[in-house]
Structure 1
Amino acid sequence: MSRVWLRAAALALVVAGTIAGLTIYFSTETVPRCLVSGAGTWRAPKDGKKHRYEVVVLKDDACFFDMDRKQKLVGALSLEQAGWLLAALPPRSDTLHVTDQQHRVVYETRRGLLGFRVLSLQTGRPLYVVHYVGFTWNPRFGPDPPSHGLSLAPDRPELWALDAPNSVLHLFDVSALPGAAPVRLEDIRLSKPISGDESPCTSSCGRIGSLLHSSDGRFVYVGDSGDVVDTRTREAVANLEALHNSRVQLEVDWVKGKAVFPRPS
């Protein structure tokens, strides 16, 4: 009997040692900048040309992806060095508003609504409530807000709306507003689902998503999924791991030695 106990005790020590070793390994393993090995420090271009960047903000770094070089990661800045950039970020909110000056309306998403509302720009009166017909959502399992992403194309009367619970983008023709409701054009399935938690992260880590058109209307960037969608083919042309783990993003154009922040729709 004593031999059995000795063997059991020895086995327990081996298991405990293995677990301790794995714990030390995973706790000391460093996460690479922008979740990509070998990411260097971003340097401002000095060639006098215009450079356009999709910038994704993670827990410790701002990651610069070159829009005109197939979304290539060209460097990162620590958040301590990126104060000038962080000041341009909009405040976080569960309610989103996108103004459409051409059609004199405002698009709104909020908690508890899988879809969006169309409001009169002049009076604020609700004109339409748009639901994603054929798609469902159980509020008990989140994410909430479920449609935390709206972006109006800068070059055409087209609204892109995020459906986070179903990991789908819904496209709408808004050319007939305010006289007629938006017309759904297409549904685009994301390559990575918007679910689980962002990592690395310190607070508000649950994925809920975000949307951003590039200023020329060529790309749509999907926060918390990572997809970069070509608006002409309506297909994903890249997936950025940093953007899969963040919904905080903006475009920065470097023009004549200065940062320019195109105003998002």
Structure 2
Amino acid sequence: MDRPFVTRFAPSPTGRLHKGHAFSALTAYQTAKDANGRFILRIEDIDPTRCRPEYEDGIYEDLRWLGLDWEEPVRRQSDHLADYAAAVDALRERGLVYRCFRTRKEILDGIGHAPHGSADAVRPGPHSPDEEAELLASGKAYAWRLSLDRAHEALGGAAWEALSFYEEGTGSDGESGWVKARPETAGDVVLSRKDAGTAYHLAAVHDDALQGISHVIRGVDLVEATHIQRLIQALFDWPAPVYRHHRLMTGPDGRRYAKRDGSVTLKSLRESGTTATDIRAEAGFGA
């Protein structure tokens, strides 16, 4: 690969970092150092209901404590919502997205009533013109969804079948090397919401292209996201990074560390006397 080696750590400030975050950040950071490459920190703070300034400050504090440094300025996605809106507008002009007024509950109810868990349940499709006009007039919130059917038509059958990504780590089924992308597994994903700006898939791949990310190094729990993200990259003709999905760090009980499970934070560990050297050693990075 001729591109300069550039990777990133892109946390969301929805809570304090824990050991799992430390492992992922250290993995990306050390890989960049070993490759004489660049390491970028990006703050993915597009969820206005969960992201907090104090959590962002905590990210900087924890990463510095671990001994990491990064390029400045740090890109904060909430400062660039107009960029993502422009990307959605470009897709809309090409007829590749549609307004969806269905709530998450309605979508989930549809899945529950679908025969054999049909994949069509997560591809609700556009409303009829009359229904859409009525819903727009009522002021009901909506999301812009990517239409897989229209994306397939736009790329063409051959390009769709050839869509793939290169995996240097371990895929969800243990695969590595060239992996065929299966964007249909994600359905018609939401790319933006009227009341909450952009969505993860679009913002992440937009910024990866903008920042020249050559290698996406992240946990294996995000392998499935790669399939739909490769489609978005292809639709915009953005370069495809190499992917390196790594194992997840787990606790003594064998469960992975996660915010939603109330994993002990790096801040708490620090305050209890644990050192950065302890964390680095446990993550396999020595001193």
- Of Structure 1 and Structure 2, which has the larger fraction of its residues in strand? 1
TM-score, structure 1 normalization: 0.28
- Of Structure 1 and Structure 2, which has the larger fraction of its residues in helix? 2
Larger C-alpha radius of gyration, 1 or 2? 1
TM-score, structure 2 normalization: 0.26
